[in-house]
């Protein structure tokens, strides 16, 4: 496995924040981060749910939701042992519940933390009217 | 009266036991570390040596630090009791250090092996990727 495609929800501020964090981390495998509602992602992976975090390996394996999150951690140099811990039978149910709780309320969590998604930023920027240059 | 003899007996036994434990660690820890560093024997030897140096420094340091006592050793009985209680403490410290070293060896080994494995969770589905 050389590349992992990570499909995230670009309409959620928390998800884009996590994406930026993922981008900065040294990784064992190359991470290709794609917005799940982007044209490219829809064309390449047409059958994946667009609402859920998904990870696809270059050999066709798909992980969804909390599994996908664990695989993302596994791909990172500094966090591989965390992936093992979260995947262990004792911690797993708690990790799943925590992930689902955050994931299902990600819009609320994002606004609580004041995190803006790409889509929101784009919308807000498009609303800004740039004054015309004064003519001589 | 017997205090100098007690100190000497304590020092000799403590240091001999420290050397024996350190040699056991050095000899048997190597196998663990070679496995942890995926057969890189040179690196394993180096880390092993550094760990043993740390082990010696802490133990010999503690043995010498714990030498002095306020207790008197004016009869063979009190002298033996003094040496025994001192040695007991040293052996317990050595035991704790020994298990701590084992923990470190095992942790290094597990880390080394983990990096070879695939993701810790099975995939939810499979798709064809161009």
Residue A38 belongs to some domain of the structure: yes
For residues B25 and B51, the answer to whether their CB atoms sit within 8 Å is yes
Residue A132 belongs to some domain of the structure: no
Give the pLDDT score at B125: 87
Residue B33 structural domain: 3-114
Residue A84 belongs to some domain of the structure: yes
Whole-number percent of chain B with pLDDT over 70: 97
Give the pLDDT score at B119: 87
Give the pLDDT score at B20: 92
**Residue A116: pLDDT above 80?**
no
Give the pLDDT score at B130: 64
Indicate yes or no: CB of B123 within 8 angstroms of CB of A28: no
Indicate yes or no: CB of A70 within 8 angstroms of CB of B119: yes
A-B contacts at Cβ under 8 angstroms: 52
Question: Residues B29-84: pLDDT tens digits?
Answer: 888 888 877 788 898 899 889 989 998 999 999 999 988 888 888 888 998 999 99
Per-residue HEC secondary structure of B1-42 comes to: CCHHHHHHHHHHHHHHHHHHHHHHHHHHHHHHHHHHCCCCHH
Residue A134 belongs to some domain of the structure: no
Q: Which of A60, A79, A86 to mutate to test the interface with B (most CBs of B within 10 A)?
A: A60
Residue A100 structural domain: 3-127
Domain tally for chain B? 1
Of A120 and B22, the one with more pLDDT: B22
- pLDDT mean across residues, chain B: 87
Question: Residues B73-116: pLDDT tens digits?
Answer: 888 899 899 999 999 998 998 889 888 888 888 887 777 776 67
Domain tally for chain A? 1
Residue B63, min C-alpha distance to chain A (Å): 36
Give the pLDDT score at A10: 83
Residues of chain A with C-beta less than 8 angstroms from the C-beta of B106: none
Residue A133 belongs to some domain of the structure: no
The ipTM (two decimal places) reads 0.73
Q: In what order do the strands lie in the sheet with A3-8?
A: A30-35, A3-8, A54-57, A61-64, B125-126
For residues A70 and B120, the answer to whether their CB atoms sit within 8 Å is yes
Residue A24 belongs to some domain of the structure: yes
Residues of chain B with C-beta less than 8 angstroms from the C-beta of A56: 127, 129
Mean pLDDT of A107-122: 79
Residue B108, min C-alpha distance to chain A (Å): 12
CA distances from B28 to A12, A77, B86, B103 (A): 53, 29, 28, 13
Indicate yes or no: CB of B119 within 8 angstroms of CB of A83: yes
Question: Residues A75-106: pLDDT tens digits?
Answer: 998 898 889 889 988 898 998 899 888 888 88
Whole-number percent of chain A with pLDDT over 90: 24
CATH of the domain at A13: 3.40.30
Whole-number percent of chain B with pLDDT over 90: 28
Residue A135 belongs to some domain of the structure: no
Q: Which of A55, A57, A65 to mutate to test the interface with B (most CBs of B within 10 A)?
A: A57
User: What stretches of chain A show up as alpha helix (H) in DSSP?
Assistant: 13-24, 39-44, 65-75, 80-87, 92-104, 106-113, 118-127
Give the pLDDT score at A114: 79
Residue B121, min C-alpha distance to chain A (Å): 6
Give the pLDDT score at A24: 92
Residue B53 belongs to some domain of the structure: yes
Element (H, E) at B87: helix B76-114
Mean pLDDT of A24-39: 89
Question: Residues A46-81: pLDDT tens digits?
Answer: 888 877 889 999 888 999 989 999 999 999 988 988
Residue B17 belongs to some domain of the structure: yes
Residue B90 belongs to some domain of the structure: yes
**Residue A136: pLDDT above 70?**
no
């Amino acid at each position: 496995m050389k590349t992992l495609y990570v499909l995230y929800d670009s309409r959620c501020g928390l998800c884009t924040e996590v994406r930026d964090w993922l981008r900065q981390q040294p990784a064992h495998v190359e991470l290709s981060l794609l917005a799940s509602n982007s044209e490219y992602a829809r064309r390449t992976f047409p059958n994946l749910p667009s609402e859920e975090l998904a990870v696809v390996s270059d050999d066709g394996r798909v992980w969804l939701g909390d599994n996908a999150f664990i695989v993302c951690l596994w791909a990172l140099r500094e966090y591989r042992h965390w992936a093992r811990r979260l995947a262990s039978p004792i911690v797993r149910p708690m990790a799943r519940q925590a992930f689902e709780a955050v994931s299902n309320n990600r819009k609320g969590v994002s606004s609580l933390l004041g995190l803006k998604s790409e889509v929101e930023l784009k919308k807000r920027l498009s609303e800004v009217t740039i004054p015309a240059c004064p003519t001589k | 009266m017997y205090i100098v003899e007690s100190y000497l007996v304590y020092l000799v036994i403590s240091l001999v036991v420290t050397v024996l434990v350190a040699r056991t660690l050095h000899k048997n820890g190597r196998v663990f570390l070679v496995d942890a560093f995926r057969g890189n024997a040179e690196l394993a030897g180096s880390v092993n040596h550094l760990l043993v140096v740390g082990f010696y420094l802490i133990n010999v340091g503690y043995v010498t630090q714990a030498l002095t006592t306020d207790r008197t050793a004016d009869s063979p009985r009190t002298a033996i009791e003094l040496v025994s209680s001192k040695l007991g403490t040293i052996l317990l410290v050595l035991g704790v250090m020994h298990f701590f070293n084992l923990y470190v060896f095992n942790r290094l080994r597990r880390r080394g092996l983990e990096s070879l494995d695939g993701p810790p969770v099975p995939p939810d589905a499979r798709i064809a990727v161009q």
